[in-house]
Structure 1
Amino acid sequence: MSATFDRRLPRQSQPEIPAARITLKPKDDSRGLLDGAWWPRSRDLMRELPALMDVLDPLWGRVTRIAVNPTYWPAIPRQVPVHGHVVKVGWFTAELDPHKILLLSYSVGRWDLLVIPPETSPASAERLMAAASGDAGLPLTASALMAAAYEDEDAAASADALATGLPEPVVPGRPEPLIVGT
């Protein structure tokens, strides 16, 4: 007696990758230190880069290399497969702002995006995205924009605490306020 086995596995559907949350300056606007902002859903480059490249490749040409500062990325792969090509990944500590990602294309050029931390509230992320892709005000570095956003959130939290009589909330990743004279 003989048996025939079908060794093909059932086709597994790929989980749908959510679209990248990104804002960009208009192509003709070359002012400023940033070309826009990116708000990833996690700190996993292997998971986040394909969605980012889905948006950027048609607009800017194929991105071939990126550089990040490892301060906020727990794992940095050497390369990330992205829809039929590979994006090489480098990292720099002193040379690259920790809140920025640098993207390179051999055919088109270089772009710098503010990286908004995944845990940022939607309202704060919206303000940061508008600031990084807009032309209002002085051009700021990625870290300067993040510091300004933290100051705005701290001021709003202090005002809320005064109005309600409740203590200010502790925000993870931000130093606790220094209380003097208690």
Structure 2
Amino acid sequence: MTTAQQRGATAEAGDRSAARLEMKRTGAEPGHVDGGWWPHSTDLVAELPALAAALEHRLGPVSRVTYHLDTWAPAERKVREGDRTVRLEGFRATDPHTIMVLGADSRRVSLLVVPPEVSESTARAVLLGAADATTATVAEILAGNGVPEWR
């Protein structure tokens, strides 16, 4: 079993139908994030189906996503995801490099978001850093891998 399979759902760089996601192992030391996600774009509505599918085993059906307003393209406040409605809540006080995904029963994960334009090798390093048993901050994980502030 590979590390990616042990940690969470991942996808090859060219496969847009699956989320490029690395999660901390269940029971890992809590930190600032529960894993990392490398979306293909800043269109949260377009990225949501793959992310929701990848997180369903951990959260159940996704009910809400909170994000930084200036990081993502404008989005409707409610979107249909399969047979349910997902609330998208944008805030400016949220870290621009994170999103919070909540399941229908209030389980949640905080994800470090790698900017879509980052190279694959850098993104993979950041994803592994976010999924590692670390208590490093989002800024420390990004800076440690040479990713500049995303504003």
Shorter-chain TM-score above 0.5: yes
Segments of 5+ residues of structure 2 without an aligned counterpart are: 1-14
Summarize the alignment of residues 117-132 of structure 1 with structure 2, pairs less than 5 Å apart.
Answer: 117-132=115-130
Q: Which has the higher contact order (CA 8 A, sep 6+)?
A: 2
Aligned residues of 2:29 and 2:133 also touching (Cα < 8 A)? no
Deviation at 1:145, TM superposition (A): 2.0
Q: Tell me the alpha carbon deviations over residues 26-51 of structure 1, each in whole angstroms, 9 at most, x when there is no partner.
A: 12224211100111001111110001
Counterpart CA distance in 2 for 1:103 and 1:122 is 24
d(CA) in 2 for partners of 1:84, 1:142: 33
What TM-score, normalized by structure 1, do the two folds share?
Answer: 0.68
Normalised by the length of structure 2, the TM-score is 0.81
The alpha-carbon distance between structure 1 residues 17 and 80, as it changes in their structure 2 partners (threshold 3 A), is farther
Point out the structure with max Rg over C-alpha. Answer: 1
Q: Is 1:145 matched up with 2:144?
A: no
Are the counterparts in 1 of residues 64 and 103 from structure 2 also a CA contact under 8 Å? yes
Unaligned runs of 5+ in 1: 1-15, 154-172, 175-182
Say if 1:97 and 1:143, in contact at 8 Å, map to a contact too.
no
What is the percentage of aligned positions where both structures have the same residue? Answer: 33
Deviation at 1:19, TM superposition (A): 0.8
Aligned length: 136
Separation in structure 1 between the aligned mates of residue 121 and residue 91 of structure 2, nearest angstrom: 30
| Aligned partner letter, 2:53 | D
Per the alignment, residue 26 of structure 2 pairs with 27
More displaced 10-residue stretch of structure 1: 34-43 or 75-84: 75-84
**Per residue, is there more strand in 1 or in 2?**
2
- 1:162 maps to none
CA RMSD, aligned part only?
2.2
